[in-house]
Amino acid sequence: MWVEVIVAWPDRYSAVQLELAEGATVAEAVAASGFAGHQALVAQAVHGVIATPAQVLRAGDRVELLRPLLLDPKEARRRRAAPAKQAPGTQKKRNASP
């Protein structure tokens, strides 16, 4: 069966297509990909859903090797919203009821 293993960074990504035996696990796919030595990888997912190393793969699965978050998602949203709050004329006008 064929599976794909992907590692992504902010500016690039690497992908490897592997032919594995039926019943192969996420851990076996990661080991066969050659990406197992990357120290910054903290978890793995299959098609975007967190997976355990013992999870059995199916033909066509995409194994994603995940990096740690650099910033909490809530904090990132707050930082993006802060300039909009401070900019003059960006506040929504309320409709006055007659």
| Residue 96 within any structural domain of the chain | no
Task: Say how many C-beta atoms besides its own lie within 10 A of residue 20's C-beta.
Answer: 16
In the predicted model, residues of the chain with pLDDT beneath 50 are none
| Residue 98 within any structural domain of the chain | no
7 close to 13: Cβ distance less than 8 angstroms: yes
CATH code (residue 55): 3.10.20.30
What is the tally of structural domains in the chain? Answer: 1
Full residue range of the structural domain in which residue 59 is found: 2-85
pTM exceeding the 0.85 threshold for the entire prediction:
no
pLDDT digits (tens, 9 = 90+) for 67-88: 887 788 898 888 888 877 766 6
Per-residue pLDDT at 25: 96
Bridge partners of 76? Answer: none
| Residue 91 within any structural domain of the chain | no
Bridge partners of 64? Answer: 6, 45
- N-to-C CA span, the chain: 68
| Residue 95 within any structural domain of the chain | no
What's the Cα-to-Cα distance from 44 to each of 82, 91, 98, rounded to whole Å? 33, 42, 57
